[in-house]
Amino acid sequence: MLEQQPWADRRQGAVGSLERPAEALAPARLPLVQMVGVNKVYPLLEGSFQALYDINLTIWPGEYCAIMGPSGSGKSTLMNLMGCLDRPSSGRYWLDGVEVSALPDGELARIRNQKIGFVFQQFHLLPVLTALENVMLPLAYAGIPESEQRRRAKQALEQVGLGSKLHQRPAQLSGGQQQRVAIARAIVNRPQLLLADEPTGALDRRTAQEVLSLFAELHSQGITLVVVTHDLEVARAAQRLIHVADGHLLP
């Protein structure tokens, strides 16, 4: 059974890297992301390497956050834990009120598919599939009937401005268009949390601005966004900055 966290008893003690926005203090709202005392240690041939130290972080539904830090600071490790792609070595993590820290792999995969969308610097599109077929993939994994897969994938591509590119393959699309396909794939399952790791890193400045405008639109529709970036301009598009250095959240 999935453990539900009694948030009402924890709200005043919840901590994060920066102050919570005032609107997050409304009664009866539950955190979407809650990490308490999270550490991540990787074993090495000789000894170990600790990537994250005692992370305490709260992210509320509807927030738009940017995680910043130098290379090797632990920001991508933090995103991997947040996205249930990896597990904490110690500490506890609740996603949407469910403790996911020690769930079996099958449950984690189900939660990733249902609750989380991912956008990466490299688009990770399958070159032999059309834009529509790439966006249908998460729905296929979820067991959605094919007719519904096509309808929802088409809707997602239209939402990111690619309704006329349904049947083109990645090689026929620009870098910005490929990233839009990747974003459509990330949102097609209507996730509660969208995680983006350096989403503009492979794009020119103009195309990067188009992607940021799309993120702003998605955020206005209520999706919770967390963007990992080293680009201050990308970070400034967010409402809240979370700084990571040497595996620690900075105050």
- Domain CATH for 188: 3.40.50.300
Q: Is residue 107 a part of any domain in this protein?
A: yes
Q: Contact, 17 vs 59, CB < 8 A?
A: no
Q: What is the pTM of this model?
A: 0.83
Q: Is residue 137 a part of any domain in this protein?
A: yes
Q: Is residue 195 a part of any domain in this protein?
A: yes
CA–CA distance, 149 with 133 (Å, rounded to integer): 9
Q: Is residue 202 a part of any domain in this protein?
A: yes
Q: Is residue 1 a part of any domain in this protein?
A: no
Sheet containing 224-229, strands listed edge to edge, beginning at the edge strand earlier in sequence: 116-120, 193-197, 224-229, 64-68, 240-245, 248-249
Q: Is residue 80 a part of any domain in this protein?
A: yes
68: left (phi over 0), alpha (psi -120 to 50) or beta: beta
Number of domains in the chain: 1
Q: Contact, 121 vs 58, CB < 8 A?
A: no
* Enclosing domain of residue 208: 7-249
Q: What is the pLDDT along the chain (251 residues), one digit of tens a residue?
A: 344 433 333 333 333 333 444 444 444 578 999 999 999 999 998 889 999 999 999 999 999 999 999 889 999 999 999 999 999 999 999 999 999 988 888 899 889 988 999 998 888 999 999 999 999 999 998 889 999 999 999 999 999 999 999 999 999 999 999 999 999 999 999 999 999 999 998 888 899 999 999 999 999 999 999 999 988 999 999 999 999 999 999 98
